[in-house]
Amino acid sequence: MWIYEKKLQYPVRVGKCDVRMAKFLMEQYGGADGELAAALRYLNQRYTIPDKVIGLLTDIGTEEFAHLEMIATMVYKLTKDATVEELEAAGLGAHYANHDRALFYENAGGVPFTATYIQAKGDPIADLYEDIAAEEKARATYQWLIDMTDDVDIQDGLKYLREREIVHSLRFREAVEILKEEHGRKKFF
């Protein structure tokens, strides 16, 4: 089903160690509007969506895993040279006590990922509107993260991710229109 290239979808560069920013980026790693929730949501919803748009959910869902990998790389690079004291000062002391430097699916506040972040109603239009909202919330979060750092390298990667959220939102909007048009057609038996 997939071809995996051993490279990131977009290069991740980090200008400096910044544990505070790494903590904020965890929102997009394991938060409600983050990349893991998006990937799982879309790949799950494809089982109850009309054939005309299954491919869209598969494509975007798998791309979200690529985005998750980019966020993980950013967090790793931002913290790899940090001392335990720096981790504690940035509010990651509890994370370090539980996981050392390993990434763990949690949000910026340290709340673990939960399946309640993943919505699936079974109604294609409702699910696609949920997906549009998820992409717009992620776009907003990426903008706020961009605003929170002066590291132009991190900003570059975050701007790329923000723009992909916009593209995904537009594609989901197109899918809604396709399904509305299909639903409005007369059916002859």
Our answer to whether residue 165 is catalytic in this structure is yes
Phi first, then psi, for residue 4 (nearest 5°) are: -105, 120
Closest CA to 165 of 144, 137, 145: 137
Our answer to whether residue 168 is catalytic in this structure is yes
Catalytic residue from among 63, 85, 165, 177? 165
- Rounded distance, CA 155 to CA 181, Å? 39
Catalytic residue from among 27, 35, 63, 106? 35
Our answer to whether residue 99 is catalytic in this structure is no
Catalytic residue from among 64, 95, 106, 130? 64
Catalytic residue from among 63, 99, 135, 181? 135
Rama region for 122: left / alpha / beta (φ>0; ψ in -120 to 50; rest): left
- Rounded distance, CA 43 to CA 52, Å? 15
Query: Does an H or E element contain 62, and which?
Result: helix 51-79
Our answer to whether residue 174 is catalytic in this structure is no
Catalytic residue from among 27, 63, 67, 106? 67
Our answer to whether residue 183 is catalytic in this structure is no
Tokens 């050392």 correspond to 100
Our answer to whether residue 5 is catalytic in this structure is no
Active-site residue numbers?
35, 64, 67, 135, 165, 168
